Chains A and B, each alone.
Chain A
Amino acid sequence: MPHLAVYVGLLHRSEQTLADALRTVGEGHAAEGDVYHTCDTLAKMSEEHVRRLGPIARRYGEQAAGEDVEEPERLHADGLAGVREGPVGLLRDLQDLYVLGTLVQTTWTAVAQAAQGARDRELLELAHACEGETGRQLSWLNTRLKAAAPQALLVAT
């Protein structure tokens, strides 16, 4: 399983990127009370995934020592350096979070598929638990951006 280890690494890092991005957006838009607090709640979910992935990543890291995927850095997505301003900025930042969230979600899907093939029960169970929570993160982001869009796009100055 030459590349599963790389994908576990990708997952580990993407969840952390998502957690950091959620905190960046929450704190950057702290005047929106629900954004601030919900982003914090969702960031904690991702941080918990990172924590639970730790031992598995180490296991794969050890097994995958000397792995030779070309340019593994190119697999990773960048986080958010900062937030944009105003209602349209909030909308766009929520979209960025959504994109990061779907990367995490589809990476879990891919890893779960592979874990099944590898008969890695521990990873499979974690994948099922975490995939569900990533779905909750995406569901909130979608709900919030739907509510924000008309005002941001039609009225806000």
Chain B
Amino acid sequence: MDRIADIWGPRTPHAKGTVWPARVDRHLEEGVAEEDVERWVRSACVLCSNGCGCEIAVKDGRMVGVRGVATDVVNHGRLGPKGLYGSWSWANSADRLTRPLVRENGRLTETDWETAMGRIAEVSRWLLAEKGPLSHGFYTTGQLFLEEYYTLAVIGKAGLGTPHMDGNTRLCTATSAAAFKESFGTDGQPGSYTDIEHCDAIFLFGHNMPETQTVLWMRVLDRTRADDPPKVVCVDPRRTKVAEEAERTGGVHLAPRVGTNMALMNGLTRELFAGGWVDEEWVGRHTLGVEELRETVEPYTPEETARICGVDAGDVRRAARIFGESERVLSTVLQGFYQSHQATAAAVAVHNLHLLRGMIGRPGAGVLQMNGQPTAQNTRECGADGDLPGFRNWSNPAHVRELAELWNVDELTIPHWAPPTHAMQIFRYAEQGSVGLLWISATNPVVSMPESSRIRKILGGDQCFTVVQDLFLTETAELADVVLPAAGWGEKTGCYTNVNRTVHLSEKAVEPPGEARSDLDIFLMYADAMDFRDRDGAPLIKWRTPEEAFDAWRECSRGRPCDYSGLSYDKLRGPTGIPWPCTEEHPEGTDRLYADGVFNTDPEYCETYGHDLLTGGTVTPQEYRAKAPAGRAHLKGAAYVPPHEEPGEEYPLLYTTGRTVYHFHTRTKTGRSRELNRAAPDAWVELSVPDARRLGIAEGDRVRVESPRGAIEVRARIGHVREGAVFAPFHYGRWDPDEVATDGAPRQANELTMTIWDPVSKQPYFKTAACRVVKVADGDGPAPAPTTTASEPAGGSVPPTRGGPEADTSAEPTATPDYPCDPAVTHEAPGHIAEVAAPGRS
């Protein structure tokens, strides 16, 4: 089966309340048969945030393919196209980094580890002596392993003592974490993928799940294509596959004007009040702030909402009615909200809908605030981003003391005078030179951060010494002062946690190429070179192996919401990944949080005292305590305010960026898979039919898209984006496996985006800018955009996207096992749901 052409594979529809049937998806390199595989090594896929359990095929010391694990609770054996074709194939590329590089006379030159690390340590020590720890910044990723993040966090927070640590998770999932903290007191996904089997309706808010989490979408399709499907409601300015499914199931597609999510959410919330659908009794017992929320949303009648958002007032009413009349609603949220105007307020508004209906903590009634990346959850938990490890509260002295005792360092070493510095601010300090050493691991900000020309200037300048640690010489690595070659997935051992808190162990399958080292070993090497010590003069970092690092993290997590105390490497070698909290009391882990309606808002336990959703101003500890939340969730509202940049005469169109199913991030891995790269080989922009007609642009024409900050020249797809909006995929930088981009025309979507971020989550807004489009030249064929997804052409004869013979995969049905924690019944008995008690927090 060609999974480029058939992205979601065959359907296995099943009745509500029954277990999602198992099936094993597999793909091997061309010419390798199953019997040729020498070893299958346990892991989990890292090409999106879904976290599918899988096994890596090894032959002659190389990774040659992958297959799903039928017993894994996450994917029941399935894999998506990125995982099948792209998870392993990059590793064998000839252009891997195999030796460290240092900049000599302006050029990157190969060297040995001692020289490279020696240079970093020299700069680091000099800066510490001259300027102190605030001269150091770390920008990591959502793609390392938890052992690596935790080690980095301890080095930064207890070794150096710098608050300037963040991950590219700031670009993809910071709003998810921020929204949880505002509503429920701490980070932590309330819902579970098993909610899909039990819900009456699924609301997808700015979440193009068919392209971002293909396996999760298979799980949804296996319900929506059954005889008793849940209704789907889609909020997206493009007519995605979700929108088509909404139509099929009698749901609603709401396509709000880009930048107006908050008005739409306020409209839906108001309808819940107006329709009498609020569970007043539950709200009274389990929440705070309902009256303020009622007042805040009062002006947003369906008509007013329709006026602001450019949607139909009747559709607002219909969507709210579905939410109001369903017993069990599952909501999922992603970048359409997180990377758009009023991100945190809009994501919190999704929580509000669920809290008002008392629909949380029950099978089928849940929220999934998604992540973009496979290990983003660990960046958040371990404190490699702007958080303290274990979801601790930087403004709670008792939490800081706990860490100081655990690490045996002076409390004052741990920076906690203000919120940890977010990525955009770290880059600003690097621009100004007050951060003099910036260490970037496993991410490519030159392509992925907003306003690309500015980022290139910051990293290319002399004011800041830049270290880049990666698999390849990315656009970012090219600008570094030192480049460190890293081992990737399958070349090292470690754990990571997916969107619904499921922890997997990924074992080392093959040796890394040349002198490449695991990110853990690189961080340990730096710690050794700097000789970080604890209060008793012993080495600060007391572990050398991934398993020892995991055990250290387990102690750090004990008693916190992300409790790993019941987990070990041995246990994770079992049939499935295990969702935290996993404790002695709950050895199988926990399927969903807040089953008892008690939230993590106690002042001594919570991760934040909260923020003003409009400005980001912090609530003081005294103000928070005065509210006496005592385990009640916060209902928090915000008025809609117009986006920071609106279309005008000069730039009449709205510009929004996004993803395609065939690529991940800046294509560092997926661009090196022949099958994936052929399916989406070059950048494009999508225009609506009426806009294209007005501008005299036809399918495949070369167009110039300009904003006040920059321009790109790419080919146009006349497609299904909302009128007045222009969509550009953000994956494409200068690098290209086939050198299609070498004609010099810029194609990076972020040339146009703004340096502006959400006031609470600090997530940059990639989806609200103004632009204009002009035709540059006639096309010589259709745009290089896939036909299989939301980028489908509106008409005309565009050849369908296909993978060809080497894209052949297998999909074998297999007996469906019992899944721990799964509330569904294994036999067909629709309607029956086993209520699974979740642990109260200890």
Contacts of B754 in A (CB 8 A): 33
Q: Assess whether A41 is interfacial by the CB under 8 Å rule.
A: yes
* Nearest B-chain residue to A31, judged by Cβ: B428
Interface residues on A, range: 20 to 34
A21 to B168, CA, bound (A): 34
Residue contact B757 to A33, C-beta cutoff 8 Å = yes
* Nearest A-chain residue to B645, judged by Cβ: A37
A41 to B131, CA, bound (A): 35
Q: Assess whether B186 is interfacial by the CB under 8 Å rule.
A: no
A-contacting residues, B114-147, CB 8 Å: 131-132, 134-135
Given that A136-B615, A139-B617 are contacting pairs, would A155 and B756 also be in contact in the complex, using a CB cutoff of 8 Å? Answer: no
Q: Assess whether A42 is interfacial by the CB under 8 Å rule.
A: yes
Residue contact B434 to A157, C-beta cutoff 8 Å = yes
Q: Assess whether A69 is interfacial by the CB under 8 Å rule.
A: no
Q: Assess whether B1 is interfacial by the CB under 8 Å rule.
A: no
Pick the residue among A31, A139, A140, A147 that contacts B418 (CB under 8 A).
A147
Interface of B: prevailing SS? loop
0/1 per residue, B83-117, Cβ < 8 Å to A?
A: 00000000000000000000000000000000000
Contacts of A143 in B (CB 8 A): 418-419, 616-618
Pick the residue among B132, B163, B421, B615 that contacts A38 (CB under 8 A).
B615
Residue contact A38 to B759, C-beta cutoff 8 Å = yes
A-contacting residues, B385-438, CB 8 Å: 417-419, 421, 424-425, 428-429, 432-435
Pick the residue among B417, B421, B425, B612 that contacts A139 (CB under 8 A).
B612
Residue contact A150 to B432, C-beta cutoff 8 Å = no
A156 to B418, CA, bound (A): 17
Q: Assess whether B457 is interfacial by the CB under 8 Å rule.
A: no
Q: Assess whether B542 is interfacial by the CB under 8 Å rule.
A: no
Pick the residue among A142, A147, A155 that contacts B132 (CB under 8 A).
A155
Residue contact B419 to A147, C-beta cutoff 8 Å = yes
Given that A37-B756, A150-B417 are contacting pairs, would A139 and B434 also be in contact in the complex, using a CB cutoff of 8 Å? Answer: no
Q: Assess whether A154 is interfacial by the CB under 8 Å rule.
A: yes
Q: Assess whether A63 is interfacial by the CB under 8 Å rule.
A: no
Residue contact A41 to B615, C-beta cutoff 8 Å = yes
Pick the residue among B135, B614, B641, B755 that contacts A155 (CB under 8 A).
B135
A156 to B428, CA, bound (A): 12
Contacts of A150 in B (CB 8 A): 134, 163, 417-418
Contacts of A149 in B (CB 8 A): 417-418
Q: Assess whether B644 is interfacial by the CB under 8 Å rule.
A: yes
Contacts of B644 in A (CB 8 A): 37, 40
A122 to nearest B CB, angstroms? 19
Contacts of B417 in A (CB 8 A): 146, 149-150
Residue contact B424 to A156, C-beta cutoff 8 Å = no
Instruction: Show the binding face of B for A, using Cβ within 8 Å.
Output: 131-132, 134-135, 163, 417-419, 421, 424-425, 428-429, 432-435, 612, 614-619, 641, 644, 754-757, 759
Could you list 13 examples of A-B contacts with CB < 8 Å? A33-B755, A34-B759, A41-B614, A42-B615, A136-B615, A139-B619, A143-B617, A149-B418, A154-B131, A155-B132, A155-B135, A156-B432, A156-B434
Instruction: Show the binding face of A for B, using Cβ within 8 Å.
Output: 31-34, 37-38, 40-42, 87, 136-143, 146-147, 149-151, 154-157
7 further contact pairs, Cβ within 8 A, besides A37-B644, A41-B615 = A33-B754, A33-B756, A37-B756, A38-B615, A41-B614, A137-B615, A154-B132
Give the 7 A-B residue pairs with the shortest CB-CB distance, closest first. A139-B617, A140-B617, A140-B615, A155-B434, A147-B418, A146-B418, A33-B755
